Structure 1
Amino acid sequence: MLKNIKTESFYDLCIEESLFLEENVEESLKYLYEHGYRTIAINQSINDDNLGAQKKSKGSNKKVKNSEVPPPIDLSPLIETVDKLNLRGFQIFNRLTITYSNSETFNKFIKSNHYKKYHLIAIIPTTPEAHNYACSSAVEADIYSYNPENKFTARLTRKMYNKIVQHGYYFELQYSHAIEDSTKRKNLIHVSHMYHSTGKSKNVFFSSGAKNLNLIRNPYDILSLGFLFGLNELQCKSCVQHTPQQVIIHSVGRRHGKALFFVENVEETQENDHNDLSNCEPQKKKIKMIVDADVET
């Protein structure tokens, strides 16, 4: 998994799984590659509204819970298609987006066996309580996302913003919502300007969140769209290149621990070993002879 740190731009870290059904896999991969994307993440979403759907059998008070977190999509067929189409440098990741309203339901998601199988984890708090939990606790996640269907009601201060950044989260803005609906566009612009005023848009990046290929734009169009969200030219470039790469690096660190070790087998000859040992010997000190020339005759 460590080799996945080496990724290429451009990035789209949220594309809905509906675009990668068997009948349209090749079309979607070609479309993304031709538009300049080399690293993508296929998104699967869960909501705590459906957590533990309860069923009761007749004559019994026992409650039966469904699986909280679905298994991630198998990427093997997609990788085979990438090789078949000769899409060089193209990488695919699994992503899970969790929409939750309180800490109790979120902790149930974490305990699922499928939770750690995802490469990327995104959270969408829907209440002030859930938002405060993300700010105060080191939740095992990588992305702090937002659904522009609803207004951002939580209070976000500069202190809270910095705490979220310290936890290693990255703020996501999904531009496809701004294309498809005017109300979503207003909500998204409001949130993006709030990120700018409270945290100077630190750790902000763009993804599509697209459910349709027609909503995906090439990275250079997104750079122009970034000015609408209150970003300067340098920040716009970082939102589609550098910052998404940092998201992936953070996800690897979250899953494998704080320290990363690269182990490599190196063959060395005895002669090289002897040279290395000889180089380790301390150099002999040079004795400087001082002759006094001022000798009285």
Structure 2
Amino acid sequence: MIKTSAFYDLCIQQSFFSQDNLEKSIKSLYQLGYRTIAVNQTIEDINIEQSKKKKKKGGSKENQDIVPVPYNLSAIQDVIKKLDIDNFHVFNRLTVIFANQDGLHKITKSSNFKKYHIFAVSPTTNQALLYTCSTLEADIFAYNPEIKFDLRLNRKLYTQLMERSYYFELLYSPAIEDSSQRKHLIHASHLYHSYGKSKNIIFSSGANRPALIRNPYDVINMGFLFGLSELQCKTAVSHCPSKVILNSVGRRLGKSVMFVEHVTSTMEVVEISSNDDEEEEIDTEEPKQKKTKT
């Protein structure tokens, strides 16, 4: 059974966990209040097309996996044991940025892809958006704030994504770094509000260094800039990310998840007292036969 606990940050870049400052990074995340994190790795369909061209030219005959090997979580687990930290969980996440669905089949059939816990997609074209809404099975609908949100998302597509257990992610570290990216994020978040009333929103950092991580309560206050209510801001760092992890288990293992727990049954013995006034007497005598005239 997968155990998680709030608060969550499901998008921390791989470069955040450098070998030199790994212990310091884990300690800072724990002190800020995060108990469940995900190490993110990103691939683009442009890199997939370039690898195809190299194979056609005969550059490498070996069957190279287009999906990178997941980040080794054993190093983080060793640091957690060293610091004697309880209730801290780490997952692997893969984010795919794509413009068409040609290379997605090879990604989903990759052996390395099956090793990731969370799968996020970031379509860059309207064709890719329609494919995501109708066919592609993923956990998170990601958005790259470096470019303006120009996809033709509407209320119908937003509802369709929610019905397919998608959660819409907003990264706050780009809003801290750059003013133009902050505008793009606010623009995208207000579109989510107009199309779906900001349902199924999660907050993640997307940080590549510890200086960009903020306290979960600061992130909750930041959510008011994105058009969310107080309850939605709180669930964006607690309840919704936990649903993402639970849905990811269902996506990888099957359509439904069932947890079995052993429960000891206790038999209750009811004693009937003989002195009870309300005790009913059972008549065991046979009914008398009626006399008939002869």
TM-score norm. by structure 2 comes to: 0.86
1:194 corresponds to: 191
Quote the Cα distance in structure 2 between the aligned partners of 1:78 and 1:125: 31
Give, in angstroms, the shift of residue 262 of structure 1: 2.9
Which residues in structure 2 correspond to 1:87-236 (within 5 Å)?
87-137=85-135, 139-236=136-233
Quote the Cα distance in structure 2 between the aligned partners of 1:76 and 1:105: 30
What CA deviation, in whole Å up to 9, does each residue of 1:152-197 have, x standing for no partner?
1111110000001111110000000100001100000000000000
1:88 to 1:132, Cα distance in 2 relative to 1, 3 A: same
Quote the Cα distance in structure 1 between the aligned partners of 2:256 and 2:201: 24
1:287 to 1:191, Cα distance in 2 relative to 1, 3 A: farther
4+ residue stretches of structure 1 with deviation over 2 A?
Answer: 54-58, 60-67, 258-268, 286-289
Alpha-carbon contact 1:55-1:64 (below 8 Å) kept: no
1:222 to 1:288, Cα distance in 2 relative to 1, 3 A: farther
Quote the Cα distance in structure 1 between the aligned partners of 2:165 and 2:140: 8
1:104 to 1:24, Cα distance in 2 relative to 1, 3 A: same
1:184 to 1:249, Cα distance in 2 relative to 1, 3 A: same
Alpha-carbon contact 1:55-1:65 (below 8 Å) kept: no
Quote the Cα distance in structure 2 between the aligned partners of 1:173 and 1:30: 24
The total of aligned residue pairs comes to 272
Quote the Cα distance in structure 2 between the aligned partners of 1:112 and 1:211: 26
1:203 to 1:212, Cα distance in 2 relative to 1, 3 A: same
Uncovered stretches (5+) of structure 1, i.e. residues with no partner: 280-285, 290-297
> What is the percent sequence identity of the aligned residues?
52
Give yes or no for the alignment of 1:44 onto 2:41: yes
Quote the Cα distance in structure 2 between the aligned partners of 1:7 and 1:31: 19
Quote the Cα distance in structure 2 between the aligned partners of 1:51 and 1:125: 15
Quote the Cα distance in structure 1 between the aligned partners of 2:150 and 2:190: 15
Give, in angstroms, the shift of residue 57 of structure 1: 8.6
Quote the Cα distance in structure 1 between the aligned partners of 2:201 and 2:83: 32
- Structure of higher CA gyration radius: 2
